[in-house]
Structure 1
Amino acid sequence: MEQSDKGDTMQPMTELDAASLREYYRKFALLEAAESSPIYTQWARGVAEDEVIIARLLELPTPKRQANLLFAAARHLGAGNGDYSSLREWLLKNWRPTRELMLARSTQTNEAGRCAVLLPALAQLSGPLSLIEVGASAGLCLYPDRYSYTYRSESGITRCDPVTGPSSVTLDCELRHAAPPTRVPEVAWRAGIDLNPIDIADTDQQKWLQSLIWPEHDERRARLSAAAELVAADPPRLVPGDLLDTVESLAAEAPANTQTVVFHSAVLAYVEPAVRERFAALMREREDIVWISNEGGGVLPDVLAQVSDLGVQPDGRFVLAVDGRATALTGPHGQSYEGLM
């Protein structure tokens, strides 16, 4: 359900006027893309100063004006990865199909690499696990037990493989101020929730996931292909629905004698603050559920306050929390894990 490349540090757009939309694209270039994608940095700066493209974006519903959605749709339809003038020329010629695709699709990047920062928390839980992912997209993060992991730290390299042996997918993570996990969890049951679940076995939907990956990120594209092949062989159960309306009924289906874990990553930023607060309150109330959140710094204020009290700044990273307790700062794609305890 998510896409932001630097940890969803920016909040969803709520203003409707052109000035706010231009400022959003300027901030996207500065805060989101500057260190990750020269192409998207140039494109976002170009859109911010382009009255014609801004006017066309304003005709779309507010959630559909996102930079990630616009740029992914254009690239998906063949705009290429050229400079902004090339993109602008292409958009003006192909606005109708671009608009239709933006209305039909959403930003649902599915980054399997985030399992590397979820594993330290999951590995500490006892018993077989029942996993429920909120905002699961295609469900690639529902398979932490099927991937291999390599953790790099000052003390050396630690590799962690599934009980069945090395996986066809290896996730690399830089580790600081934390001991590397030494095992993968036993997962007895898994399911996901998403407003629009993606069928990873569907070629067109998989191509859309590829389009959502930023132009320069070839390693992520290769990882997506490998993880998609692994998961397509045993697809997860994905339930269409809203998180508040669905999570408790799905949790009730978890097998007895398992530990239910509800987790999400870069999802709550796309949920209205009031709904976000209700969901967090629900998770805190459920003593039978372990709640793991991996969200941008400003998404859960209580969690961010804990980080601030430690004199630390996320600096574009996610904050990983277990049952509302901040435990680590993590790279947006699972590339790094810095313990806070």
Structure 2
Amino acid sequence: MTTAERYAEFAAREAHGVSPLYERLSLAVATDAKLLTLLDTVPEGKRQPNLLYAVVRLLGGPVNDPEAFHDFTVGNWDRVAAQLRVRATQTNEPGRSAVLLPVLNGLPQPLALLEVGASAGLGLYPDRYSYRYGDQRLGAGGPVMECELTGTEPPSRLPEVVWRAGLDLNPLRVTDSDDMAWLDALIWPEHTHRRERLRAAVEIAAADPPTLVRGDLVDDLPALAAQAPAGATLVVFHTSVLYQVPEDRRRAFEDLVRTMPGHRISVEAPEVVPFPDLPPAPDDTLHNVVALDGVPLAWARGHGQALSWFGPR
């Protein structure tokens, strides 16, 4: 896929109906010869729209007007390119807990959670958040995760979590203002509700910080998993992470995690973690596949805003 095609697809499948600003901006970048030429000078994995837009926002540039965005990005390309090379899309969306909850609740309690690609670890607190599935609410504290759920009944309880840890090549700290500024920049500009949700989740994590380890998802996973307490069900999970991992390391991770005790929950795009004979997605927008131990269960939207269950209940 060319860089232009990537931006056009982002506009059509991810931003359309979700972020008018990013839809318009992506369509403009897809036909902007100067920007496309500059983007093609950085590694392919660093050309993605979310990363570019977040870097420009972090540097104080505009994303609400394509012409102003062009002028800022071209005029500050050395700074933009330097940030693209060292940053990653570590979107730490606590709303994704809403698509994990139905799976977590079906596992033997209590749970020991280990998130691969944990960013700041905000996905490690599904028991501390509240949820609303349609007109049904679960939980009384923390930010409320809204999720449109079809195909199964909403969860009736919160999971019991007795241990939580995360593994990341570059873990972010909820107590570090620069790290939190990066997470804020990754939230799409119109998404005030997500920004408020992020800040509320940060408060929860700051009050009881998780164990976050800087490390590789293959080399360092077994040692961290070994720290989980006896008597708890180990759950290794990852959401929208493996697309950033080279294919050979992705295969090595798959081989490793199959040998580990406990369970694995993956929430990844179907071209990243493929499954045969998947039912059609609910629509043409980007959906991830929620799977437990290699068995696909549901389609999920990227920020946890919808879950369409098709697997065994």
Same fold (TM over 0.5): yes
Is the 8 Å Cα contact of residues 264 and 292 (structure 1) preserved in structure 2?
Answer: yes
Is the 8 Å Cα contact of residues 192 and 237 (structure 1) preserved in structure 2?
Answer: yes
Moved more, 119-128 or 137-146: 119-128
Q: Which residue, out of 118, 121, 124, partners 1:142?
A: 124
CA distance in 1, matches of 2:266, 2:31: 36
Q: Does 1:333 align with 2:290?
A: no
State the partner residue of 2:109: 127
Is the 8 Å Cα contact of residues 133 and 193 (structure 1) preserved in structure 2?
Answer: yes
Q: Does 1:189 align with 2:159?
A: no
Q: Does 1:323 align with 2:301?
A: no
Shift of 1:313: 5.8
Shift of 1:312: 5.1
Is the 8 Å Cα contact of residues 307 and 313 (structure 1) preserved in structure 2?
Answer: no
Correspondence 1:70-219 to 2 at 5 A: 70-152=52-134, 157-161=135-139, 166-219=140-193
Q: Which structure 2 segments of 5+ residues have no match?
A: none
Superposed CA offset, 1:25-83 (max 9, x none): 22222223223222222222222222222222222222222221111111121222332
Q: Does 1:40 align with 2:22?
A: yes
CA distance in 2, matches of 1:37, 1:171: 19
Aligned pairs, how many? 310
Q: Which residue, out of 205, 211, 215, partners 1:231?
A: 205
CA distance in 2, matches of 1:258, 1:306: 33
Please give the TM-score of this superposition, normalised by the length of structure 1. 0.86
State the partner residue of 1:244: 218
Superposed CA offset, 1:184-234 (max 9, x none): 111111100111101111111111111111112111111111111111111
CA distance in 2, matches of 1:169, 1:312: 28
Q: Which residue, out of 254, 260, 269, partners 1:296?
A: 269
CA distance in 1, matches of 2:170, 2:283: 30
Is the 8 Å Cα contact of residues 283 and 323 (structure 1) preserved in structure 2?
Answer: no
Q: Which amino acid aligns with 1:297?
A: P
- Shift of the 94–204 alpha-carbon distance from structure 1 to 2, 3 Å rule, reads same
State the partner residue of 1:49: 31
CA distance in 2, matches of 1:42, 1:180: 36
Superposed CA offset, 1:215-265 (max 9, x none): 121111111111111111111111111111121111111111111000010
- Give the CA RMSD over aligned residues: 1.7
CA distance in 2, matches of 1:179, 1:44: 37
CA distance in 1, matches of 2:283, 2:274: 13
CA distance in 1, matches of 2:31, 2:131: 43
Superposed CA offset, 1:125-161 (max 9, x none): 1231111000000100001111111221xxxx32222
Is the 8 Å Cα contact of residues 281 and 299 (structure 2) preserved in structure 1?
Answer: no
Structure having greater relative contact order (Cα 8 Å, sep ≥ 6): 1
